[in-house]
Amino acid sequence: MKKVLFVCLGNICRSPTADGVFRALVKEHKLEGSIIVDSAGTAAYHVGNSPDSRSSLAAKDRGYDLSTLKARQVVEADFYEFDYILAMDNQNLSNLEQMQPEDSKALLQLFLDFSELPECEVPDPYYGEGKGFEIVLDLVESASEGLLRHMMKAV
């Protein structure tokens, strides 16, 4: 059993999108019994909220359901619970690195390290126009494929 936690700032746009897309891919490969997926934010602004409606709609248009997700903040226990903690951008990665307890074995990385695209970060779409949500999905779909390939070698 491997556990993956996707992390962004608010846990209402990028990491819930990654959660929904990667969860769907895991299901498609019938790996729900082997891979657990969750998401969280480094900030607490939106704790308890559903994903941003723009993220939910963009995801729904591609067949992903984000309706059951609720925002939560990263907690210390996550560093012991999860095998992979994957950040959407460098700022969130840096915050996670500062939070990680010394004896935590979780692998902290940028999510897009698993994509073959040239981008390193998933840009924050929150204050931008609608296109940002499509860009998030494009990047997340690519990295999800790469992550699953990587994990299937290890499972």
Residues designated as active site:
8, 14, 124
Site track for ligand 4NP across 107-146, x = CB under 6 A: -----------------x-x--------------------
Consecutive H or E run containing 8:
strand 2-8
CA 82 to chain centre: 13
Give one word for 11, left, alpha or beta, with left for phi > 0 and alpha for psi -120 to 50: left
Pick the piece of the chain touching ligand 4NP (CB under 6 A) from 6-14, 28-36, 61-69, 100-108.
Answer: 6-14
Is 39 or 148 the residue whose CB approaches ligand 4NP more closely? 39
Question: Which residues are registered as beta bridge partners of 71?
Answer: none
Identity of the amino acid at 17: T
Binding site for ligand 4NP (CB under 6 A): 8-14, 45, 124, 126
